A and B are shown apart, each in its own frame.
Chain A
Amino acid sequence: MDRQGRTWMRKAAWALCAAFVLAAVAAGADALAKDKPAELVLAVGGENVEGYDPLVGWGQYGHPLFQSTLLKRDANLNIVNDLAESAVLSPDGLVWTVTIRKDAKFSDGAPLSAEDVAFTFKKAAEAAGKTDVTALKEAVVTGPYSVELRLKEPQITFIGHLVTLGIVPKHAYGEGYGRNPIGSGPYKLASWTEGQQMVIEANPLYYGKKPDFTRVVFLFTGEDTSFAAAQAGKVHVVSVPSSLAKQQVPGMVLHPVKSVDNRGLMFPMVPDTGEKTPTGFPIGNNVTSDPAIRKAVNYAMDRKALVEGVLEGFGSPAYGVVDNLPWEETTARFTDNDPAKAKEILAAAGWKPGSDGILEKNGVKAEFTIVYNAKDSLRQNLALAVSGMLRKVGISAVPKGTSWDEIKKNLTHSNVVVYGFGDHNPLEMYKLYHSRGDLNIYNAGLYKNPVVDANLDKAMAAPSFEASIPFWKAAQWDGTTGFAVPGDAAWAWLVNLDHTYFIDENLDVGVSQMEPHGHGWPITANIAEWTWKK
């Protein structure tokens, strides 16, 4: 069944049920337990079906929980020490010297030493999983608690691995580790029923602050079932799509979390010269290769209306790919919902209204297709809304839904595409806007600006993460050029989503981190700090 049909039927089913629920609540169905529960029940997804092995990708979002990481991000996304007492990058950007704390133990009682850290990074570099540590040349133990991570070339975003890669025990790592993880994190795995639930218990040997909840159950239920479980008072935290966030859940409060989970329009940057991909699909677009068109699209759009209309208010306008992150260049922000300015830009570039109201220039109509993944109703609604807004300035944007595989393989180099990104690591920005790389999803529009490339490369080669930030900013807009809207306007970012959760009214989840692309598990990033209010 297609997503649209499902959505409709889902709404019908929930509506049918609303009366029952209200009746039951009004009749004062069993009062929800207000005492601190023996176990916390969360329905936020997060089942990693291949197991909880950091070396093949576990823990990239949120916290690996069972393992601990060298560094971590606090609620304000500052990078602070965790397992590491210090982590220093050499001035040439090639060697991380890490000293770890001496009191860390694995949940099986064995002490955690530099050997384990080196083992973890070496193995991760070999492993064929989602953790890409190919930049590592070697990991060398220099003392019982110190280790050097040597890189093949300077790569400041490697710090992301120090933040997310959970350290595994050298003595207990092997086949089946993912189903029986041993680590030095705040929790240990008690039981995992695949496809249903995971029970975790506090790790008594954890070196940090002991979590307030000693037993936590993760339910791996689907969206609808999770919401039903919340309605029935069976869970304490549930992640819900924004379409359900306006509902009332007895005993629970809505907890929206800001995110950098964004959606935007990717523009093909080069003109169509007849060049084809190896599989015979066109490259380039003669309309979007004109900067006037890309800027006009950016200025004409009313992003607040998109947030209200498409996200039901659960989101914020997106002006760039890294909104509100420490490396955002805020001077590149602009005032949108300005059709007059859009028209001015278009007129100055020589676009004139044709007989049907659509602009034309040298016989080319201001017309392009916005393709989106047809399974994703959010992207569909964005494409439709944008199309309506652009019509008013004389640009014809035709929304077209198709399969994700079709988009990625065939359409992405010659059409405007609705994409979603957003990460805590500027590596993503590098890949989206750097011109190196072949035909791929990273820089699908074939954007190329030597100044931007230079700034991105300087950021990569910076001697510390702090030192890299000015270059990340300059790549967006350095006062004269950049990929952001005042410069080349290589993308038209539309919205940042809010991730919506219902949480028990007695549960205090502290300050949630601004979340990356990915809804659900990231809320557990600070689970060790959660408390019960009574």
Chain B
Amino acid sequence: MIRYLVRRIVHLAALLAAVSALSFSLVSLSPIDPVDAYIGADVMKVGPEQRAKIAARWGLDKPPLERFTTWAANLVRGDFGISAIYNEPVLTVIGKRFAMSLWLMALAWVFSGLFGFVLGVVAGAFEGGLFDRAVRFYAYLLAGTPTFWLGLLLLLIFSVALRLTPVCCAFPPGVTPEEATVWQRLWHLALPAATLSIVGVSAVILHTRQKMIQALRSDYALFARAQGEDTMGVVRHHALRNVVLPAVTLQFATLGELFGGSILAEQVFSYPGLGQATVEAGLRGDVPLLLGIVLVSAVFVFTGNTVADLLYRVIDPRIGWKGAA
């Protein structure tokens, strides 16, 4: 158990080092000039002298390798640097927004996991039936739907035409964050979380369904039937545990996708989460912020995978600690 944890931590450190080096090289190769991106429409008002000053403030006058080593050295001391576009410490920028995104991702994740699993199990149990075909159609259709488009559609139907749900934001416009209640916040999460869940279920459905069909065709299912179990019984007592495993893996592995999907959903619903900041950081070449977000999301996804790994052992005691990676 301890050896396992140590090994995971070493893995994490190596992963972070690799990810930051890779991201930094990619950003350095990007054709985006951060100073141009920052100045934007003011290009005629900012002369060469002022441009040089801006570049110097961000350290862009130094060669890339020196910038990276300075950044890494500061990082080791816990200093993530200053975001160029938000003009405040990277950790403050991420902290404000990550808390918001976490709510959204958690809701979407739980819903898509639960619904996906239930639909997949039922569809698999009644393979080829009307319900199965309907669920499969839904899953294929949704797998090809752009998140932002679905979000816009939901917004138009539920918020604009029916006026049921809020049009935007994490809480009602005009209310200050201190005044906003938990219920208001949850209510404002409804549509973005629904958008993410509706799109997110298809992978879980299809995998669970496939696994279910396999389980029902296995020898132990045949044996159980021979002993007089009906379909529901086989599903409940024999197949379910085997089907849970891939679903759990998948659900934790999709944390990365969830991260990506939340960026799009946040944009449509103007939800003030990390998504908008990530897009800005990328489009405007804010290297410290982008690297900060990359590191945080890497830790996030890594944690998800580790949790999945640990859950295996709880669900299936046959998997021991020995040889675990």
Contact = CB atoms under 8 A, between A and B. Distances in A.
Interface of A: 1, 9-10, 13-14, 16-17, 20-21, 23-24, 29-30, 39, 41, 49-51, 53, 56-57, 60, 128-130, 132, 134, 160, 176, 178-179, 190-191, 193-197, 199, 215, 217, 219-222, 224-225, 228-229, 231-232, 234, 403, 405-406, 408-409, 421, 423, 425, 427-428, 431-432, 440-442, 517-518
Given A41-B174, A199-B174, A134 B49 contact: yes
Contacts of B57: 128
Given A57-B42, A130-B42, A193-B177, 9 more contacts: A1-B146, A17-B157, A20-B160, A20-B161, A130-B39, A132-B45, A193-B176, A222-B268, A406-B31
A17 B96 CA distance: 34
A518 B41 contact: yes
11 contacts: A17-B160, A20-B156, A39-B174, A57-B42, A130-B38, A195-B271, A197-B174, A199-B174, A199-B176, A220-B270, A232-B159
Given A14-B156, A41-B174, A51-B87, A196 B272 contact: yes
A179 B83 CA distance: 14
Contacts of B248: none
A221 B268 CA distance: 8
B45 A60 contact: yes
Nearest to A51: B87
B41 A197 contact: no
Interface in B172-198: 173-174, 176-177
A508 to B, nearest CB: 21
B203 interface: no
B169 A196 contact: yes
A9 B268 CA distance: 14
A17 B47 CA distance: 47
A379 B270 CA distance: 27
B270 A219 contact: yes
A202 B149 CA distance: 39
A421 B44 contact: yes
Contacts of A409: 31
B160 A9 contact: no
Nearest to A5: B146
Contacts of B135: none
A132 B269 contact: no
A193 B272 CA distance: 8
A441 B42 CA distance: 12
A23 B273 CA distance: 34
Interface residues of B, number: 57
Interface string B134-176: 0000000000001011001101110111110001111001101
A14 B160 CA distance: 11
A428 B44 contact: yes
Given A16-B156, A20-B156, A405 B177 contact: no
B173 A41 contact: yes
A407 B202 CA distance: 41
Contacts of B173: 41, 196-197, 217, 219, 234
Given A50-B86, A57-B42, A228-B167, A24 B162 contact: yes
B249 interface: no
B276 A195 contact: yes
A196 B267 CA distance: 10
Given A130-B39, A195-B97, A20 B153 contact: no
B36 interface: yes
Nearest to A178: B87
Nearest to B284: A49
B85 A49 contact: yes
A228 B169 contact: no
B324 interface: no
Nearest to A23: B161
B316 interface: no
Interface in B61-100: 85-88, 96-97
Contacts of B87: 50-51, 53, 56, 178
Contacts of A427: 44-45
A193 B268 contact: no
B268 A224 contact: yes
Given A219-B270, A225-B155, A517-B41, A191 B167 contact: no
Contact of B47 (A53, A132, A199, A234): A132
B97 A9 contact: no
B65 to A, nearest CB: 21
Given A13-B152, A132-B47, A225-B155, A197 B169 contact: yes
A219 B177 contact: no
* Residue from B57, B148, B167, B176 whose CB has the most chain A CB atoms within 10 Å: B167
A60 B42 contact: yes
B33 interface: yes
Residue of B42, B48, B177, B268 with most chain A CB atoms under a 10 A cut-off = B42
Nearest to B269: A225
Contact of A228 (B96, B156, B162, B174): B156
A222 B41 CA distance: 19
A46 B51 CA distance: 23
Interface string B243-272: 000000000000000000000000111111
A332 B9 CA distance: 72
Contacts of B272: 193-196
A62 to B, nearest CB: 13
Most chain-B CB neighbours within 10 Å: which of A57, A215, A225, A517?
Answer: A225
Contacts of B46: 130, 132
B56 interface: yes
The residue among A16, A56, A224, A425 with the most chain B CB atoms within 10 A of its own CB is A224
5 tightest A-B CB contacts, nearest first: A20-B161, A195-B272, A17-B156, A128-B57, A128-B53
Contacts of A215: 174
A432 B38 CA distance: 20
Nearest to A219: B173
B99 to A, nearest CB: 12
Nearest to B40: A130
